[in-house]
Amino acid sequence: MGENAFLGFLVLLVIALCISSLVFYRYVFLLESAQLEFRPSQNTFQTKPFEDIVRVWQERGQAFEQASPENYRDAFAPAPLPPEAEESDN
């Protein structure tokens, strides 16, 4: 194969071009010439599922608003010294 690398490359190139032209012909050229029928869909808006979702969101929003925030200690603030440490400093 090493002696005929250029010939092997040309053979593989021709095979790749044949395959790609078949794919192009099938998925592009045939679809352009085909008559496609158009069927409009009759989608209706369903209010019941929409109202259920809105109700659940409102319940979650109310639960979020009613949650009481706890006061957590600031992890980056220096901690106050205990009374024993203050006495030993004097």
Q: Is the pLDDT confidence value at 35 over 90?
A: no
pLDDT at 84 (0 to 100) = 74
CB 14 within 8 A of CB 7: no
Token couple for 71: 């006061």
**Domain parsing of the chain, residue ranges:** 8-32
pLDDT at 87 (0 to 100) = 60
pTM exceeding the 0.75 threshold for the entire prediction: no
pLDDT tens column, 47-71: 999 999 999 999 999 988 887 777 7
Higher pLDDT, 3 or 88: 3
Residue 51, Cα to own-chain centre: how many angstroms?
A: 26
Q: Is the pLDDT confidence value at 90 over 60?
A: no
